[in-house]
Amino acid sequence: MDLYVISPHRDDAAFSLSIAMRHWLGRGHRVQIVNIFTRSLYAPYADVESIREEDRVNYVSGLRRMEDESFLKVMHGATKFDLDLDDSPIRLGCHSSEVCATLETGTDAALPAIRGHLQRLLHQEDVALVLPLALGRHVDHCIARNAALPLVPYLPCAFYEDLPYATRQGARADLDEVRRRLIEEHRTSLTPVLCHDAGIDPIGFKRANAGLYSSQIRAEEAQPIAEFSRRYGGGERLWANAKWLAAAEALSLSTNQVDPQGYPLPA
């Protein structure tokens, strides 16, 4: 099966899904990371002040691309596709501190560009889609998720818990809102499932992968991202639709279902 992982920025799939992606690749599935907003000025832990202002977008975007390519070397067999859209501070003219504020998403010019690319998946065989829940309500995560929502009733789909936002206060309310919206607008319910991979030390594996994105986080910030998998027995939790569940056992898309009341996210 072809699994398309929607990553709003280059680090999101690595932070949130490195164990699941290794599991899928090990089961013979093809994994492509679709990076949405890859043109960026955001690199708080890189020396960008010495770069001429007119060159900074290309410099930061190139730096983040190299970090992503280092991650792909770990994810043996995974591929990536970059949409090369501007991230929200460039696209919307907002400060990086405002990206999780309530920003208008319904008229964002990025929506049709993302939707047009994803729409082609409907015409392919044996395709599954992995999406961000947009926990934390980062505007770019919301746009990436919302662009794909019309496809959810038609394809096997699972939503991942965005890290590091899943560790923060308000994550449970964000999850509840997404689940409510899918039921009301798309008649789609979500069931929690887990992905594990027995061939690794999950905490060390996630910490090392998160640490590859050193322009985005400090070394010590990789630890809570890694530790989050401990609550799932060294795995990662996704929220899957009925088509995913129907295919999960035969295709090893996930390892087991879990009690939806278990492992509550921060309220």
Average the pLDDT over 174-179 and give the result.
Answer: 96
264 in any annotated domain: no
Q: How do residues 23-61 score in pLDDT, each as one tens digit?
A: 999 999 999 999 999 999 999 999 998 999 999 999 999
Contact 189, 241 (CB under 8 A): yes
Q: What pLDDT is attached to residue 123?
A: 84
249 in any annotated domain: yes
262 in any annotated domain: no
> How many distinct structural domains can be found in the chain?
1
Model pTM greater than 0.75? Answer: yes
Cα separation, 141 vs 100, in Å, equals 9
Q: What pLDDT is attached to residue 71?
A: 98
For residue 96, the domain's CATH number is: 3.40.50.10320
Average the pLDDT over 170-181 and give the result.
Answer: 96
Place of tokens 């999850």: 175
Number of helical H runs and strand E runs in the chain: 9, 8
Contact 252, 20 (CB under 8 A): no
Q: What pLDDT is attached to residue 252?
A: 94
266 in any annotated domain: no
Name the residue range of residue 47's domain. 2-257
98 in any annotated domain: yes
Q: What angle do CA 48, 52, 57 make, to 5 degrees?
A: 65
In this predicted structure, which of 75-79, 103-107, 135-139 has the lowest mean pLDDT? 103-107
267 in any annotated domain: no
263 in any annotated domain: no
Cα separation, 265 vs 82, in Å, equals 31
47 in any annotated domain: yes
